[in-house]
Structure 1
Amino acid sequence: MYKEVKSDAGKRPGRVSRSVPGPRTAGRILSAAVLLAAAGTLVTGASLLVPGTTSRPLEAPLVAVPAGQSISVCPGPARLLEGTPVGTDPQFSPESATAATSLNAVVLSSDSGVVPASRLAPLGGSPLTEIAPEPAADATEPATGTPVLRAGVVAGLGVSDVSALSAEPLDNRQPAAGAVVSYAAADGDLRGSAAASCQRPGNDLWLVGANTALGRSAILNLSNPSSTPATVSLELFGAAGQIQAPGSRGLLVGPGTSRAIILGGLAPGQERLSVRVQSDGGPVAAHIQQSVLRGLTPGGVDFITPGAAPAIRQVITGLEVQDPQALAGLTSGPGYADAAPALQLTVPGTADAVVEINLYGRDGRRALPGGGVITVKAGSVTEVSLQGVPAGLYTVAASSDVSFAAAARSTRGLSADDAIDIAWSPAAARLGSQHVVPVPATGDRRLVFGAPEGRTTISYTPITADGVIGAAAAVDIAGGTTTFVQVPGDVGGSPVVGYLVSAAGDPAYGAVLLLQDGTQEISILTVAPEAGGQEQIPVTLGY
């Protein structure tokens, strides 16, 4: 049987809530009216066809719908699982004497300098902090002169549970917002660091990199920030194929609640485990708290977050490889195979995939030891070792004629006598325009960019804790290379809390690499998709 823990943060007994129609409700009603009007137009057009005449297929028209609220879910602190009697809910102990978890959030203003109404709150609870109030009606007038951007910022906020960043639409445009949670501990079994970009909920998520073998702990955390119950089903993939696990279907996650599933109870002893999370009802956010303990020596902790859905091409950037000779001495010892960099590939379909893998570093393409073409069995997870690759930062590009999911493991630490840390980076979508990229408050922070195919130009603009949008800078990246930009501690005397990132040219990919001076700590953050403008959806009719 699996074990779980539930959280209903922010609920108060004896309190009755009443639903009052608000701006978002009105937006939904308007959306429905727009869609019905579009549907009526299509029906009218269809009724004009003369029976028996030939017709040609028409593309489904795009209908603009009102912009909606943006919600991103942020993981809570890493917690150590305590042993409990069989059949009871698991309990979580305090992380350590030195563990700390903090959150940075950025909400971008409109061109007129108005920050959308936004707040940070425990999932389902009262606000931790208000970032910006509802703007006055006359403050939302479109800018007539030069755009004046600024940001609403939360810097270094301590958090103790799952939280949510919400922002309201402004000028009928989706709000641009982002947040990042960072955890660090200098002692205890969860020694190391973990960080994750707060994620927008979805109904179909893929997580690659879990491990439930001896000394490894993988806890899947599901969060439902919506007002609709979510019924979640899990698909599990291991090295030998898909895993049929009783208890992996029909997992209820109530509105405004979180639920933790111990993956070792569903799929024990799996050195390679990928999880597909499908939600029927409310969309959910998901992350896996992955940790390693080799005897009494901590082996790292990380938050595994969803990556790109299976596709015939996947790109990962931000992979860090240590000195291969020193690493070989460490990983030759028993229990240290997963202390080496590696790529994991999951093929969910019924056909094997022949995958071609290329690595691109600072000086161009690097050959993989043993070639770069492998076969991945259908329904299974295959690990590709990256040992022997010269030390450096890399972008991984993999392609096949069969869809697959992918993630890469980076590690820090070269001595079995000291703690080692791990970081997983999933495949991500290419960069577009105006990504909000928050960064943690401390450490060695680097923006990593990769251009696997052709030349591209990356523009990056700092955002400081006082809400100022700084001067933009740009870096030109040659095709087939990876580069990074060092994040300064401050700009103009105010700490840097994030960036606006845009790409132009051939496809480019980005990540944030986090290191800590004097330690082996490492974390890698993906770059969230950019906010859209006015959303458009296709309208089709059928019966």
Structure 2
Amino acid sequence: MSDDQKNGVERTTDHGKPRTESAKAPKPSKERAGSRRSSNKGIVTGVLSAVVILAAGGGAVAAAGMVPGPSGGTNLEARQADVPAGRSLGVCPEPARLVTGTEVGTDAQFSPVSTTATSALNAVVLSTPAGTVPGSGITALGGKNVAEIAKAPTSTPSPTPGPPVLAAAAASVSPVDSPTVVGADPIGNEKASLSANLSYSATDGDLRGLAAAQCQQPGNDAWLLGSNTALGRTAVLNLSNASETPATVNLDLFGHQGQIQAPGARGLLIAPGTTRSVNLAGLAPNESELAVHLRSTGGPVAGTIQQSVLRGLVPGGVDFLSPGAAPSNLQVMTGVDIQDAAALKALGGKSGFSDAVPALQLAVPGSTDAVVQVKLYGANGERQLPNGGVVTVKGGTVTSLDLDGVPAGSYTVTASSDVSFVASTRIARGAKAESPTDFAWSPSSARLGSQHLVAVPRSGQRFFSFGVPEGRASVSYAPVTADGKVGKSVDIDISGGTTSLIELPATADGAAVAGFVVSASGDPVYGAMLLGTKDRADVSVLAIQDAAAGLEKVPVTVGY
């Protein structure tokens, strides 16, 4: 048994064979030998020439010595240097898979989920203001082509005066059986606006429920909250490397009692074009509140946790846990849709159902305790929480605050402290212990700006949830159809201290809706997409991602 197997780490699955090269160097030919002699001769000549130049320049050096030199270093004015725009990438996880035959300290093994499991990848790419759609496509993690979104344009015309003329391209792939990468080329030194997500659904089996995840931009630092490795709970961390550089990942694990020392969480090698799965129960067993801090060196990685619950023989739901906002003094989560308070409170009081109620989870990375003020904003304003919504979180630990006493409705949750922390909110569906239930996690997100592109699943119920903690704001959203048209936008005005839940149409102008272009103005607005299935306990939440960055500049200072 390997060291990785002893520490609860799954084997690496390659999606492409590495190329090997011969270690033997070719013998130099006569021409090469002659070139080497000629080169050596040039070096000798260069040295002699340098001696002559130094001798001739001695007078100049002496003359320069009579001129007073500068008293110290001189800094020139900082100039802004253009940073070339890179290719937009989104790494999508594979659909949920059932973990079987796994014991603590062994590799995770997977089996088919059920006969009803379905999966789909939905992607949308937005054009430039001149209407040019960038070349884009979907590939397997190992590089094999899966689908084309848009062909590379033959020309890139400049925008004409007046309002932008937007177009788009969309693609949907179903079923999906492995991790994929969605990519779009830059145009005019600006990154393409790209959005994609993976959705999974099943009506039977242990992984019954709905799970969805945004296809995320790879990075080197991320926090994932909501993991649970207690009895009947399974958490598998999937790490994907879409770059051409090997990545080494270190995991910092935090539980209710503090940081967890797990030797197998260090030095996880992720080869290019591969995914590595880590059974978190092998690193931190019996942890009902587990936060994972992911750090990588070398290539950037995308990390998602497949979390599932099984209470005896009754499925308790499945979800993909995605990274939220970085540690900060303020964290905001929306899309928090709460069911009947009395039914949830009764369910949460039953044995094994403590995680079947809505809750806010907080983790403090440092050693300083954080006093966190929590507030909830619904359709009619702020809702009061027990104890005034104040909770103390010890440094280096994870704490949860149950929201089972909150009246039914859609909410935005804000948490603030003078100490940096991370946060995520759990949503629960189903109120009967003998029936299947489901859950979802809404990670903290950044405030909305202009022109966020949001891909949407082609089936099920879809809602936008917009929250404005303070002040007043306006939000507009325009549908993007599967045939590449951007429709007329809908404008809404949102009062401060409230949350608006908007059901999204399945079609626009007779075509299927593939996504939306969302923009916000005024005071800070936060948004998410709430997903569900009619007459089922399915639920999932997708935070709205940042808009594509334009031409970036970095300051460059030259001095001596």
The alignment's TM-score, normalised by the length of structure 2, stands at 0.88
Counterparts in 2 of 1:542 and 1:243: CA distance versus 1, 3 Å: farther
Does 1:257 find its partner at 2:263?
no
Q: How far has the Cα of 1:177 moved from its partner?
A: 0.4
Measure, in 2, the Cα distance between the counterparts of 1:309 and 1:540. Answer: 29
Checking the alignment, whether the CA contact within 8 Å between 1:156 and 1:441 is kept in structure 2 is no
1:192-214 residue CA offsets vs partner (Å, 9 max, x unmatched): 01001110011000001100000
Q: Which runs of 4+ in 1 moved over 4 A?
A: 12-16, 57-61, 84-88, 540-543
Amino acid across the alignment from 1:141: P
| Residue of structure 2 equivalent to 1:97 | 115
Q: 2:92 aligns with which of 74, 82, 101?
A: 74
After TM superposition, list the pairs within 5 Å mapping 1:316-331 onto structure 2.
316-331=333-348
**1:439 matches 2:445:** no
Contact 2:8 2:106 in 1 (8 A): no
Q: Quick check: 1:5–1:91 contact (8 Å CA) kept in 2?
A: no
> Do the aligned partners of 2:105 and 2:282 also contact (CA within 8 Å) in 1?
no
Structure 1 pair 466–50 and aligned structure 2 pair: CA distance change class (3 A): farther
For 2:330, the equivalent position in structure 1 comes to: 313
1:332, CA displacement in angstroms?
A: 1.1
Query: What is the one-letter code of the residue matched to 1:144?
Result: T
Given that 1:369 and 1:386 are in contact with CA atoms closer than 8 Å, whether structure 2 keeps it comes out as no
1:90 Cα deviation after fit = 2.5
SS in 2 for 1:460: strand
- Structure 1 stretch displaced more, 124-133 or 513-522: 124-133
Provide the rounded CA distance (Å) in 1 between the counterparts of 2:78 and 2:275. Answer: 38
- Alignment-derived partner of residue 239 in structure 1: 256
**Which position in structure 2 is the counterpart of 1:300?**
317
Q: Secondary structure at the match of 1:155?
A: strand
Q: Which residue of 1 aligns with 2:471?
A: 454
For residue 194 of structure 2, the aligned residue among 157, 177, 183 is 177
Separation in 2 of the partners of 1:451 and 1:58?
A: 44
2:491 aligned partner: 474
Deviation at 1:122, TM superposition (A): 0.8
Pair 1:143-2:159 in alignment: yes
Paired with 1:287 and 1:542, the residues of 2 have a C-alpha distance of 44
Give the corresponding residue for 1:507. 524
SS in 1 for 2:388: coil
**How far, CA to CA, are the matches of 2:452 and 2:257 in structure 1?**
39
1:6 partner letter: T
The alignment status of 1:197 with 2:214, answered yes or no, reads yes
- In 1, Cα distance between equivalents of 2:329 and 2:527: 20
> 2:424 is matched with which residue?
407
Q: Is the 8 A contact 1:212 1:270 kept in 2?
A: yes
Secondary structure, in 3 states, of the residue corresponding to 1:62? strand
1:1-49 deviations in Å (ceiling 9; x for gaps): 213142222x257798xxxxxxxxxxxxxxxxxxxxxxxxxxxxxxxx9
**Shift, 1:180, TM fit:** 0.9
Structure 1 position 51, deviation (Å): 4.2
Q: Which runs of 5+ in 1 are unaligned?
A: 17-48
Unaligned runs of 5+ in 2: 1-6, 22-67
Counterpart for residue 366 of structure 2: 349
SS at match of 2:234: strand
Which of 215, 220, 223 does residue 232 from structure 2 map onto?
215
Larger Rg belongs to? 2
Return 409-418 or 143-152, whichever deviates more: 143-152
Q: Which residue of 2 aligns with 1:108?
A: 126
Write the distance in 1 (CA, Å) between the matches of 2:110 and 2:77.
53
TM-superposed CA distance for 1:60, in Å, is 5.3
Report the equivalent of 2:51: none
Task: Provide the secondary structure at the position in 2 that maps to 1:220.
Answer: strand
> Quick one: distance in 2 between partners of 1:456 and 1:469?
23
- What do residues 425-462 of structure 1 show as CA deviations (whole Å, max 9, x unaligned)? 11101001100111111111001100001100001010
> Aligned-residue CA RMSD in angstroms?
1.9
Q: Aligned partners of 2:257 and 2:355: how far apart in 1?
A: 18
Q: Is the 8 A contact 1:176 1:436 kept in 2?
A: yes
**Residue 120 of structure 1, aligned match among 124, 127, 138:** 138
Question: Partner of 1:273 in structure 2?
Answer: 290
Aligned to 1:134: 152
Question: Cα distance 1:381–1:140, how it changes in 2: closer, same or farther (>3 A)?
Answer: same
Between Structure 1 and Structure 2, how many residues are aligned?
Answer: 507
SS at match of 2:239: strand
In 2, Cα distance between equivalents of 1:72 and 1:170: 17
Instruction: Decide which moves more: 125-134 or 460-469.
Output: 125-134
**Alpha-carbon distance between aligned partners in 1 of 2:507 and 2:338, rounded to the nearest angstrom:** 28
Match of 1:131, as an amino acid?
I
Q: Given the two structures, how large is their TM-score scaled by the length of structure 1?
A: 0.90
SS of the counterpart of 1:159? coil
Specify the SS of the correspondent of 1:371: helix
What percentage of aligned pairs have identical amino acids? 54
Contact 1:65 1:535 in 2 (8 A): yes
Contact residue 456 and residue 476 of structure 1 kept, 8 A: yes
Aligned equivalents of 1:13, 1:308: Cα separation in 2: 35
